[in-house]
Amino acid sequence: MEERPFDDISYEQFLNEERLMGSRCKGCGVLFAPPRTICIKCYDNEMEWVEMKGKGKLAAFTCVAVGPPFMIKEGYDRKHPYVSGVVELEEGTRVVARIEGVDGSKPETIKIGAPLQIEFLHRGEANNSKTFLAFKPF
């Protein structure tokens, strides 16, 4: 299996490769995404990588009107808020991600519990590229 350390750097590398990976505690089976090195439930430090299928549902969200500079560059502002959400994955763990394909200026149209699927947003170029985790309704 994968030999990468269970940290944010590995997590982001996997995102670049279009894989959403978490760590599962070998002691009690709890899943963490982003990964953790030590289980917060049983304090075991034996972890293994698990790839998520990328399906889930919307558990919570906020519409962000004033975002960081790179979001403003993408055209999001007070008139065009973007949506940040918590997605409950089929695997049972929750991740924070951008929610695409919804209208942040009309939060009443965004439904908690809506089924979502993963999308990888590649931004920037070559050495400065970064991949953001996003989900969209399907």
* Footprint of Zn ion (CB under 5 A): 25, 27-28, 39, 41-42, 44
Q: Which is nearer to Zn ion, 28 or 60 (CB)?
A: 28
Q: Are 48 and 24 in contact (CB under 8 A)?
A: yes
Q: How far is the CB of 65 from Zn ion (least distance, A)?
A: 39
Cα 81 → chain centroid: 18
Q: Are 119 and 136 in contact (CB under 8 A)?
A: yes
- Kindly report the number of other CB atoms within 10 A of residue 111's CB atom: 12
Q: Which is nearer to Zn ion, 49 or 132 (CB)?
A: 49
For the chain, the distance separating the N- and C-terminal CA atoms, rounded to the nearest angstrom, is 31
Q: How far is the CB of 22 from Zn ion (least distance, A)?
A: 13
Q: Which is nearer to Zn ion, 47 or 97 (CB)?
A: 47
Q: How far is the CB of 94 from Zn ion (least distance, A)?
A: 17
Q: How far is the CB of 29 from Zn ion (least distance, A)?
A: 7
Q: Which is nearer to Zn ion, 27 or 67 (CB)?
A: 27
Identity of the amino acid at 105:
S
Q: Are 129 and 70 in contact (CB under 8 A)?
A: no
